[in-house]
Chains A and B, each alone.
Chain A
Amino acid sequence: MKVLMLGWEFPPLINGGLGIACLGLGRAMAQQVELSFILPKVDPAFLVDQLELIGLNHLEDRTIDREKVEQSLADVANVKWVEGEVASRMLPYQLEEVERAQGHSETTFTTVEESKKSLAGEKVIDRLRAVGLDERLAMFRDDTLYGDDVGERVWAYAQVAASLAEDMDFDIVHAHDWMTFVAGMEIKKRTGKPLVLHVHSLNYDRGGPDARGWIYDIEKSAMEAADLVIPVSRYTGTICTGHYGIDASKVHFVHNGADPVKTYRSKSPFKHGLVLFLGRLTGQKGPRFFLEIAAKVLEKNPGVYFVMAGTGEKMRELIEYGAFKDVGDRLHFTGFLNKEKVNKLLSMTDVYCMPSVSEPFGLSAIEAAQYGIPAVISKQSGVAEVMTHARHADFWDVNMMAEHINELLTDPKAREEAIQYSLEDQKNCTWEAATERIIELYRDQLGIHN
């Protein structure tokens, strides 16, 4: 089976949650099917075993002749760019805005210094130029993938990806999130191949239930046009079927996986406990509820410390609100943290709290579990379906959240139990399991067998 995936973020250039999930899934799926990924930007030095990565920022080096490329690089990966000085094109930038979202960075990839095998054949870029896509391609050389002109980028990506796809051989087109949904629809239209949409997050999660606009429209029309919709949780599935009115018979959730991480504990100066919020400081993540919860916990346990790791447009407002709630010497902000610092923080944390207003999945709760940290998470999160033994509460129920935290901090028996359960829970979250389930869905829903 040959699968063409359409992605937007991808490590190491962009390390948001979407990129991490695409890499995790891509790496696992590439072991089972023949998999290619079209991305707006790739780092040519970043290779993944068995996974073909096609970046619109590096089509200059891409030739049409697929077979030859595959032969020449089969031992490394099915990657097609090349022709000299590839390494010098590497852009070691970090897109701060997105990277700050989670502070993840990937460590288990293969990096090659350069790959010098040259190939014969027509250049893809010349073909695309011939059909007038030159200025579209130029958009992907900028440092950002979002920003004010994200709409233009989405369209440019759709046009170029569709042109590329016409030359490619695949059975299924599988698009990740709205930025690539337009391309997915276009490819389905041009090639007639079945369209699978992978929903990592929706406008509903980012903008709230009343958010409308062209992004909502893209999501809705794409899900209507799709043959199979794969939300990352049952919870998000209910948004697809309920909020977007998508036919439930084609909506089938597949939980994300989580790569195992090396964990450690370090000494903490916070004797009465440290409670962690990790994520972007934006409405969807419920950071303000975290502040309320902190104030509640402090009423009972004034010695507890809280930390909000991450940054976002709500940061200043939250800082002032924390001061107003009089918790500024107990609730600290770290700003953006890199992965190393996030790990350090996890190693000190006693309770993980995720009061998200709407969280399609919530990988960080699993990472916390890997660190042996009991979690208190909102019912409005996908990860609550996986972490069945974690403490749950509605995101707005700060009293319940605070009670859970107080119990986990003051009752050693309850705490130990919670830790053991969450360690068990997280073991089931693997990308291999996700891959298996997706291949099953391809078979059962689309009739395409591996």
Chain B
Amino acid sequence: MMKGFLTRLSKVLASDSSEGSDKNAKAAKAAEETTQPPAVPDKVANTKKKKAPKEEKKVSKIQVDPSLQPICFFFEAHQPNRLKPYSFFDIGNDPFYEDDELNRKLLDEVCEVSYLPANKMMTELIKEGKGQFRISLSVSGVLLEQLELNRPDVLKSFQDLHATGGVEIVAETYYHSMGFHRSKEEFKEQVEKQLEKIKEVFGVRPKAFRHTACVYYNELAAFVESMGFESMLGEAVGWILHGREANRLYRSPNCTTLKAHLRNGILSDDVAFRFGNHAWPQHPLTAEKFATWCQTNGGEVVNLFMDYECIGKHQDKDTGIFEFFRAFPAAWEKLGGRFVTVSESAAELEVAGEYDCHEPTSWADTEKDLSPWKGNAMQEEARRKILIIEKQVKSKNNPELLHQWRKMQTAEHFYFMSTKGGESGKVHERLRPYPSAYEAYLYFMNALSDLQIRLDEE
């Protein structure tokens, strides 16, 4: 059942990735890789053999209930490069758009309250192996970059977590962007860049893909399939499932091999959003209670997808989120449950039916569509105008300019421009580093004007 990619050569990979940040070592590394790739699966198999008996012993104490659907945890770690209050007077004078100080501050904060303690906890849980605990994880390229630059210790802790062998790395776009509708070519390049980065940092090539905010639709799925991925994550959207269970794998009608893993929105949000809410009737949510909910949820796999920052940031430590996660694998194991990664469930399960998703869906807001990033005039204009200069940017053959342009495609820039009200609006407001959506738009457009002027002058 377990696939080779699930367990890792921690030592080999650790040394690999530490070299990864060193540009000079790249060529040497590449050479090494071309000569040695077949060694990886073999070694994986060896380490697995060493580890496996231990795990099986533990598991055998508890009766695994074969009829109980496993849980698939997926976490997304990402931090955007927020823009500074880039003013009109900066246009033509300041080629730096990002608020380095703020980004650094927020990065440090999220590292301290979330990434570091969560990585530590996950490492321990995987090593304990209750219910063969394992997770799937995606770390955006822009976050990996920030970590490399400012927090190599945290990057190392992600690598260590991955080295436990209980983590499947899932692919995405390097820039956490949403430009597929405008340019497939650019989308592909960003995915490939992310694959390179993952190779460099974690030494693997992911089989599963998850687009920014779990965006999923047929056209995108078919393209992702064409890029060689076997699985793609999405949101289980009621009006497309038409009463069918979310806890199964599906397939878009225009795909032949790609499996759609749909997020169980209710159970995921119980942890990701409602966990610390005292007004929620189910508060406090204990590991035991949640395990029973999962147990009775039916289907073949419970997909719990959420931001990694939910652990410790969105749900701070005072909510008891860490205690919850610490206790959950044991509670789940007690019921006879086990855990799988995305690709494990893909290998285990056949698709249960067609998932005909014409319109883009996402895991965001209550609307579960692209409305957090588009819809108002400011978002529409900003999105369009950053994407339409693709040819011009690429014609300059200037890697720095290209990188800067791509960083401006990061979805949060448009998310911050949302003028939504209600529950969703409150979330937008909480995450926005500016007084309002209007500032987010103005700073972005000012920076864009500067970028355009630089393009013209180049």
Contacts and interface: CB of A to CB of B under 8 A. Distances in A.
Given A320-B376, A329-B448, 19 more contacts: A269-B93, A269-B453, A316-B436, A319-B378, A319-B441, A319-B442, A320-B378, A323-B376, A323-B381, A323-B441, A324-B381, A328-B381, A329-B452, A330-B449, A332-B91, A332-B446, A333-B442, A334-B87, A345-B89
Interface residues of B, number: 24
A326 B381 contact: yes
A419 B12 CA distance: 73
Contact of A320 (B93, B377, B449, B452): B377
A85 to B, nearest CB: 38
27 contacts: A269-B91, A269-B92, A269-B93, A307-B88, A316-B436, A316-B438, A319-B438, A319-B441, A319-B442, A320-B376, A320-B378, A323-B376, A323-B377, A323-B378, A323-B381, A328-B381, A328-B382, A328-B441, A328-B445, A332-B88, A332-B91, A332-B445, A332-B446, A333-B88, A333-B442, A341-B89, A345-B89
A344 B448 CA distance: 22
Contacts of B323: none
Nearest to A267: B92
Interface residues of A, number: 23
Interface of B: 87-89, 91-93, 376-378, 380-382, 385, 436, 438, 441-442, 445-446, 448-450, 452-453
Given A305-B449, A307-B88, A344-B89, A332 B377 contact: no
Interface in A333-366: 333-335, 341, 344-345
Interface of A is mostly: mixed
A323 B381 CA distance: 6
Nearest to B445: A328
Contacts of A333: 88, 442
A328 B446 CA distance: 9
B449 A329 contact: yes
A307 B445 CA distance: 12
A341 B168 CA distance: 54
- Looking at B91, B381, B450, the one whose CB has the most chain A CB atoms below 10 A away is B381
Contacts of B453: 269-270
Contacts of A305: 449
Contacts of B381: 323-324, 326, 328-329
A338 to B, nearest CB: 12
Contacts of B445: 328-329, 332
A315 interface: yes
B429 to A, nearest CB: 15
A329 B386 CA distance: 10
A332 B442 contact: yes
Contacts of B436: 316
A269 B452 CA distance: 11
Contacts of B91: 269, 332
B378 A332 contact: no
Contacts of B87: 334
B88 to A, nearest CB: 5
Contacts of A270: 92, 453
A341 B385 CA distance: 28
Contacts of B93: 269
A254 to B, nearest CB: 36
- Looking at B88, B376, B449, the one whose CB has the most chain A CB atoms below 10 A away is B88
Contacts of B385: 328-329
Contacts of B382: 323, 328
A113 to B, nearest CB: 34
A336 to B, nearest CB: 12
- Looking at B93, B438, B448, the one whose CB has the most chain A CB atoms below 10 A away is B438
Contacts of A335: 442
Nearest 5 interchain pairs by C-beta? A269-B92, A323-B377, A324-B377, A323-B381, A323-B378
A321 B449 CA distance: 18
- Looking at A324, A326, A329, A330, the one whose CB has the most chain B CB atoms below 10 A away is A329
Nearest to A330: B449
Contacts of A315: 438
B375 to A, nearest CB: 12
A330 B450 CA distance: 10
A194 B441 CA distance: 55
Contacts of A328: 378, 381-382, 385, 441, 445
Interface string A292-327: 000000000000010100000001100111011010
A328 B88 CA distance: 12
Contacts of A345: 89
Contacts of A320: 376-378
A406 B207 CA distance: 57
Contacts of A326: 381
Contacts of A344: 89
Contacts of B441: 319, 323, 328
B303 to A, nearest CB: 37
A305 B453 CA distance: 11
Contacts of B450: 269
A319 B377 CA distance: 9
A15 to B, nearest CB: 21
A307 B89 CA distance: 10
A339 B377 CA distance: 32
A415 B202 CA distance: 63
Nearest to B450: A269
A281 to B, nearest CB: 12
A316 B92 CA distance: 25
A238 B91 CA distance: 43
Contacts of A269: 91-93, 450, 453
A334 B436 CA distance: 15
B446 to A, nearest CB: 6
A351 to B, nearest CB: 16
